[in-house]
Amino acid sequence: MFEDNNLETQPIKEMNIFNNWNSVVEAWYCVGEESALKNNILSTQVGKQKLVIFKTETGKVHCLDAFCSHMGLNLSLGKVVKEEIRCHFHHWSFKGDGTCSKQKDLNSYPVEVRYGLIWIWAGKEAKYPLPLHQDLLENYTYKRGPVYTRPSHPHISLLNALDIQHVNTVHALDLNVSAKHYEAPDQSYIHYDFEGKFLTKEKIFLTGGGYKFSVRYAGATVGFLKALEGIKIFGKIPFPTIYATFGYRQINQNQTVIQPIFLTPKRTGVLGWIKSQLHLFVTEMIYNRLKGEDGEIYENIRFTPNFTPDDSNIVSFIAHVNRLPKSKF
């Protein structure tokens, strides 16, 4: 969207990876719901790379390059036979590791199934396991939000949570926010801790005055959010901290697929279950409100920035993304 517009007067400074539709980061990608497997096969893609996912009779899920190495038919038209996927055209079969007894082997990619979703690593061997939310490594419960698409690059969507100026202008939160960030030594993620103080008397009265939130991006394809930490309604009643994870995937035609997953600590007993469900409901409600306010921005943006010192989080994130490894996709 808008890539070909205003080229003479507002040229795009193409970067190595950031906001570049022609490059794909070697990272984890959420490629669809497990329930979307039809006859145990799912056709999907990351960037321009077509892939086939299949689940074998013993329940193992595999991901291969989509086109059969014989004459190139998309294997998603095929059939799962025991532990292999059989091409519809001439019935050559491929194992989960991409090997075939008579034809050239296909590339296979690491797969994980989590939250009822299929995740693949865009390379031969995963350089790190599919990350969990750092604050909910175990004993969590989740709810998948509906998947949706945006016509801007995933990296542009990822800037949203780091853009502290728009918190006041677009979301009218009246916050003064400060941030600190660090990167994992192996560059597998970048993490931002934010601290916000409300500026208006009314908001201070409603919330107790301040709160914290954090944002972590792994491979610029999986996001982890922790928000509303420290909010006290009327300064007294603690508001639940909310947790969410997001999968971001670019596909061709300049489209980004975003899969939200809302998380909360798992609580015991019937009351605990009700409380968890309530937390998940509130998390989704807050998310939908922010998403609605942000939506039109990401549908009408042509990213040709001139940064100010207040944009330092965005600048550090872009530098991080441009250091990430590129996939062959």
Q: How far is the CB of 294 from Fe ion (least distance, A)?
A: 4
Amino acid letter, residue 125: E
68 is an interface residue for ligand FES by CB under 6 A: yes
Span from 30-38, 65-73, 201-209, 261-269 in contact with ligand FES (CB under 6 A):
65-73
Q: How many angstroms separate the CA atoms of 192 and 164, rounded?
A: 12
Span from 39-47, 69-77, 193-201, 282-290 in contact with ligand FES (CB under 6 A):
69-77
89 is an interface residue for ligand FES by CB under 6 A: yes
Span from 51-59, 90-98, 108-116, 160-168 in contact with Fe ion (CB under 5 A):
160-168
Contact between residue 74 and residue 43 where contact means Cβ atoms under 8 Å apart: yes
Q: How far is the CB of 73 from ligand FES (least distance, A)?
A: 4
Span from 70-78, 215-223, 238-246, 297-305 in contact with ligand FES (CB under 6 A):
70-78
Torsion of CA 259, 40, 327, 48, to 10 degrees: -80
Out of Fe ion, ligand FES, none, what residue 301 binds, judged by CB under 5 to 8 A for its kind, is: none
The only residue of 60, 90, 171, 302 in contact with ligand FES, by rule CB under 6 A: 90
- CB closer to ligand FES out of 70 and 127: 70
Out of Fe ion, ligand FES, none, what residue 160 binds, judged by CB under 5 to 8 A for its kind, is: Fe ion
HSE-CB for 185 with a 13 A CA cutoff: 0
Q: How many angstroms separate the CA atoms of 170 and 15, rounded?
A: 27
Q: How many angstroms separate the CA atoms of 68 and 87, rounded?
A: 7
Q: How far is the CB of 131 from ligand FES (least distance, A)?
A: 36
The only residue of 36, 73, 147, 286 in contact with ligand FES, by rule CB under 6 A: 73
Strand order in the sheet with 93-95: 79-81, 84-86, 93-95
Contact footprint for ligand FES (CB under 6 A): 68, 70-73, 87, 89-90, 92
